[in-house]
Amino acid sequence: MSDLRFEAGKVPSGIVRPVDEHVTAPVRPARVGLLATVVVVLMAGLLAALFWAAPRTEDGIAWGDPMVPGGWMAWTLATALFFWVIAALILTFLVLAIRFPETPRVGLLRIETTRGDRLFITLLGSAFINLAWLGLVDRAQWGALVVCLIYAAAVFRWV
């Protein structure tokens, strides 16, 4: 039987060191900055295109009119902005995950969650808050937005 002992720091050519799955390579900030710039420019361009395509009246932007008359879905500016915000959040979290890798944490729910998990929980809970607001409250939907922002802060802090 051969002797497998070796000096510290020197590994014989036939032996492969195990790879730790949790060790990540350092990220070069310059490339993350470039990615963030590209994301911001693309999302700003998309936002400008949405406002350019928005239907207008003499009073200004017609928020409730369809952006594509006769289209298969009533894409209003408000609907398009809703999906734009979700896309912007996902892309922001992508850049954050690349720039600042994280480890899952255990919060109030006693499950491991990452930033993305907490975003999903926030979006899902916000959908239910908005549906409950529509069915139970006779006030403007902006009030539900305030409740959703408070809910989001709580989820990101304690979950």
Q: Over its length of 159 residues, how does the chain's per-residue pLDDT go in tens digits?
A: 555 555 555 655 655 555 555 656 555 555 788 889 999 999 999 999 999 999 999 999 988 888 888 877 888 998 899 999 999 999 999 999 988 888 899 999 899 999 999 999 999 999 999 999 999 999 998 999 999 999 999 999 999
Distance CA 6, CA 23 (A): 24
> What range does the domain containing 31 cover?
27-101
Measured at the CA of 141, the angle between CA 79 and CA 155, to 5 degrees, comes to 85
**For helices 77-99 and 115-136, angle between their N-to-C axes, nearest 10 degrees:** 160
- Taking the C-alpha atoms of 58, 64, 67 and 70 in order, what is their torsion angle to the nearest 10 degrees? -110
Q: Note whether 83 and 143 are same-domain residues.
A: no
pTM of the model: 0.71
Domain count within the chain? 2
**Contact 43/88 with Cβ under 8 angstroms?**
yes
**Contact 131/108 with Cβ under 8 angstroms?**
no
Q: Answer yes or no: is 76 within a domain.
A: yes
Beta bridge partners of 60: 57
Q: Note whether 43 and 92 are same-domain residues.
A: yes
> What is the predicted pLDDT for the residue at 90?
94
Q: Note whether 97 and 40 are same-domain residues.
A: yes
Distance CA 107, CA 159 (A): 4
Helix/strand/coil for 103: coil
Q: Note whether 128 and 139 are same-domain residues.
A: yes
141, two tokens? 């939907």
Q: Answer yes or no: is 91 within a domain.
A: yes
**Contact 27/98 with Cβ under 8 angstroms?**
yes
Nearest to 54 by CA among 40, 24, 75, 34: 75
Q: Note whether 91 and 109 are same-domain residues.
A: no
At a CB cut-off of 8 Å and minimum separation 6, what does 145 contact?
none
Q: Note whether 113 and 158 are same-domain residues.
A: yes
In terms of C-beta density within 10 A (0-12 exposed, 13-18 middle, 19 or more buried), how is residue 50 classed? middle
